[in-house]
């Protein structure tokens, strides 16, 4: 797995954990969570077990919206410099994922 693929999986895993926490906090069973997210129960099982395969980042963000989470995406273009392929950095340290659940459930 290439480094950028690993970073993408890490971000998806963080989102899965947030979704799992919302499910637990609301005391939903997997069938209830599946109805709310519009998926079948096995997909909720994957979420609970932290399995990112089969979930795109876009789909996970859609789940968060269905759970009434506020998603703030901020991209800073400060200090952009030319970077060739051999100089690419692991920029996961520069990603702040802040998702704030709204208390509507």
Residue-wise pLDDT for 25-41, tens only, equals 999 999 999 999 999 99
Confidence category of residue 20, pLDDT binned at 50, 70, 90: very high
Residue-wise pLDDT for 53-104, tens only, equals 999 999 999 999 999 998 887 766 666 666 666 555 555 555 666 666 666 5
Alpha-carbon distance values, 8 to 21, 53, 68, 102, 104 (Å)? 20, 11, 23, 25, 29
Residue 10, pLDDT above cutoff 70: yes
Contact 34, 40 (CB under 8 A): yes
What is the per-residue DSSP string for 29-93? -HHHHHHHHTS-HHHHHHHHTT--TT--HHHHHHHHHHTTEEE------TT-----GGG---GGG
Domains, the chain, ranges and CATH?
Answer: 3-101 (1.10.260.40)
**Among 9, 8, 27, 18, which Cα is nearest to 100's?**
18
Average pLDDT over residues 43-49: 97
End-to-end CA distance of the chain: 38
């Amino acid at each position: 797995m290439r480094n950028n693929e690993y970073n993408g999986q890490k971000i998806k895993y963080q989102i899965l954990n947030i979704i799992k926490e919302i499910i637990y906090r609301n005391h939903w069973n997997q069938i209830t969570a599946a109805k709310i997210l519009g998926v079948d129960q096995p997909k909720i099982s994957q979420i609970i077990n932290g399995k990112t395969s089969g979930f795109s980042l876009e789909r996970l963000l859609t789940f968060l919206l269905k759970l009434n989470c506020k998603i703030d995406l901020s991209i800073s273009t400060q200090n952009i410099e030319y970077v060739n392929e051999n100089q690419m950095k692991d920029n996961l340290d520069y990603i702040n994922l802040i998702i704030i659940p709204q208390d509507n459930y």
